[in-house]
Structure 1
Amino acid sequence: MKRILSILTLLFIINACDDGDLTIDTIDFSEVTAKKCDLKDIIYKVKDSEMLILAIPATTFPNDQTPDGTPITLPINTTNQVIYRQYSSTVSSDNICPTVPSANPSLTEEWKATAGTIQITSTAIYAPTTSNGTKITNYNHYIVFKNVTFQTPNGTQVYENYVFGNYTTTATALAFGFDTEVQKSTCDNRIFNFNGSEALILDVANYATLFENAVTTTPRTAVIDSTNKLTYQLYSNTVNDTYFCTTPTTPVLSQEWKADNSVTDVSGIIEVTTTTLWTDFQHTIRFKKVTFKRGNSTFYLGDDVLYGSFITTP
């Protein structure tokens, strides 16, 4: 009799502790690649008959890195939604991406997140270029849900730390298709290299010294700093010298990258070699170990990159 009472007491205690708020259900998409709908701000993962959905504005994902230790943090709400779905059979993008999603297979269960936060850590993905340089091709966004609470048919399911995983976006392409002919501005001392909507601009304080009309036996040098500036700019349409001398409202500046200040005798070096061309002088400019920065992102132009040449008349 005592044994029966003990068992009943234990069952009572277990039932008393189960308030229906937690279940033992788990969802695991750790090995699944995240994809995005073409026409909707929806990122999703599909595994057989299961789908994990993150409905979030595309503008959330910057064309930039996040600072170290400072991810983007968003609340889970009606704007930033996290949803888990179970279907009657194998599911696909057709069940989420079209304006009118397919109803086959049928939805059998849905969990909606009602609380928690979304953390996004963004890092640049690089590809090599000439002269040991690099370019940013993509940004990887590592997404984690913190203290996410799902409302399920059996109550609530809570994850203190749920890793959604990686989602990759394509970086804006910087063509850098410049030729070897540069030109001096007609309105100031800037030196330009243009390629359609791109401009690589050198603005030096000591123009007369750096581009003296005298043949060099050793290259003249200057360093990138607060007075000697190198800037890359990308516009919405074609630009030229006239644009920079009059600064009209269009085309619009899309991106601007500024060269980092130099480290003495190590990086950020401007090198000029001057030769004669008949009675004129030709100045050839090279950049040594230059790194460009925009926001929290950087790319390395290269160890030794030819900027181009221009001619001056004495």
Structure 2
Amino acid sequence: MKKYASLLLFALILNGCDDGDLTVDTIDFSNESIKAQTCDPLTNNLIYKLKPQESLLIQLPDNSIINDPSVYSYDINNSTYRVVYRAYDGTVATANICGTIPPKTPNITEEWIGTAGKIEITTTSIPGTASTDGSTTITGYNHTIVFRNITFAKPAGDQVEAEYVFGNFSTSYTAPNTVFTNPVQQCTNASKQVYNYNASSALTIDNIDPALLVNEITTTPRTGLINANGTTNKVLLRTYINGTLTQSYFCNTTIPSSPAVSETWIARDGLAGESGIIEVTTTNVNKVFTHTIVLKNVTLQKDHSSFKLATNYVLGNLEVVVP
């Protein structure tokens, strides 16, 4: 008789638990197969992870995920910076998180709200495949997200976690196009800017040292050092949006508003015999002097990000006709 009573009690327990609800004591999204996602890759204002019946969400102001290597820290306030955990009575999907009109099911059975602590984001660049010409590229950024001293308000009472690792969230990045097929040009105004360009980017040398562009045949190349903050030999790479770059953009007294500058990369200072060198070789054919401009061992910097041009990067040829 006791045997049948035990079986009946076990059956009742199973039946009582089989209602689809998920009882949660701890949050665990540490499995590497659980990838962080975003509802809007342009703003990254909602980042989330999903398990079959659980979600962990971070809501941020637009563009709080910054594509630049550094450590960023934001105070959790359940307003502009929110952390929310939810458990459901069925399978949860992206539509439940990002849908304009979320599905009616599954239902939320438990919710934890972050009320204090910090969201700490450590950002590093993701390098592209190594190139035989010595150049490097950035293909994206990895953002390692950790909650520091986070307080969760949960149904059973507040719970504090000294460190909770949310995990990695990756963003893509389109590297500047540094392939230029146009001939090099030089402005005749006071800047004497030397430039080459394509539809979306331009590489310029502002106030190039005039000693580099003498109309005389060279037996050995003339060299000068890049000066990031000086008055001569400042090398810049700019990318543009909302329009196509043409030659008419350059050498104007007032910089055109379109296309708009998206990014500006500045070449690091040169070091004699090692890096950041402008090299010019000059030839003369029928009174046409051709100055071939090569940038050697140049690293371009934007905030904390950097990449290298080819070890011997040919900017192009500047032709000067002499009467």
TM-score, reference length from structure 2 = 0.84
SS in 2 for 1:302: coil
Give distance in 2, aligned partners of 1:139 and 1:281.
44
Are the counterparts in 1 of residues 249 and 256 from structure 2 also a CA contact under 8 Å?
A: no
- The yes-or-no answer on 1:262 pairing with 2:266 is no
Q: Identity over the aligned pairs, expressed in percent? A: 42
CA-to-aligned-CA distance 1:187-233 (integer Å, 9 cap, x gap): 242111011231110124422x2111111111111111122111011
In the TM superposition, residue 140 of structure 1 has moved relative to its aligned partner by 1.0
Question: Which moved further from structure 2: 247-256 or 277-286?
Answer: 247-256
In the TM superposition, residue 186 of structure 1 has moved relative to its aligned partner by 3.4
Are the counterparts in 1 of residues 193 and 208 from structure 2 also a CA contact under 8 Å?
A: no
Q: Between the two structures, name the one with larger relative contact order (CA 8 Å, sep ≥ 6).
A: 1
- The yes-or-no answer on 1:234 pairing with 2:250 is no
- CA RMSD, 1 decimal: 2.0
Give distance in 2, aligned partners of 1:34 and 1:231.
35
In the TM superposition, residue 153 of structure 1 has moved relative to its aligned partner by 1.2
Give distance in 1, aligned partners of 2:255 and 2:220.
41
Among 257, 264, 275, the alignment partner of 1:250 is 257
User: Any residues of structure 2 matched to 1:171-250 within 5 Å, and which?
Assistant: 171-179=173-181, 181-188=183-190, 189-207=192-210, 209-225=211-227, 226=230, 227-236=232-241, 237-244=243-250, 245-250=252-257
Among 150, 153, 158, the alignment partner of 1:151 is 153
CA-to-aligned-CA distance 1:151-181 (integer Å, 9 cap, x gap): 1111112101111111111224412231152
Give distance in 1, aligned partners of 2:188 and 2:61.
44
* 2:76 matched residue in structure 1: 76
* 2:13 matched residue in structure 1: none
Give distance in 1, aligned partners of 2:108 and 2:209.
70
In the TM superposition, residue 144 of structure 1 has moved relative to its aligned partner by 0.7
Amino acid paired to 1:201: T
* 2:112 matched residue in structure 1: 111
* 1:46 matched residue in structure 2: 50
CA-to-aligned-CA distance 1:35-81 (integer Å, 9 cap, x gap): 00138721000112111111112310113221xxxx21111111111
Amino acid paired to 2:83: V
Amino acid paired to 2:270: S
CA-to-aligned-CA distance 1:235-276 (integer Å, 9 cap, x gap): 232344543323245122221110000122110011111112
Amino acid paired to 1:233: R
SS in 2 for 1:153: coil
Structure 1 gap ranges (5+): 1-23
Amino acid paired to 1:234: T
Amino acid paired to 1:238: T
Amino acid paired to 1:25: D
TM-score, reference length from structure 1 = 0.86
SS in 2 for 1:90: coil
* 1:304 matched residue in structure 2: 312
Are the counterparts in 2 of residues 180 and 307 from structure 1 also a CA contact under 8 Å?
A: no
CA-to-aligned-CA distance 1:264-289 (integer Å, 9 cap, x gap): 21100111111122221111111111
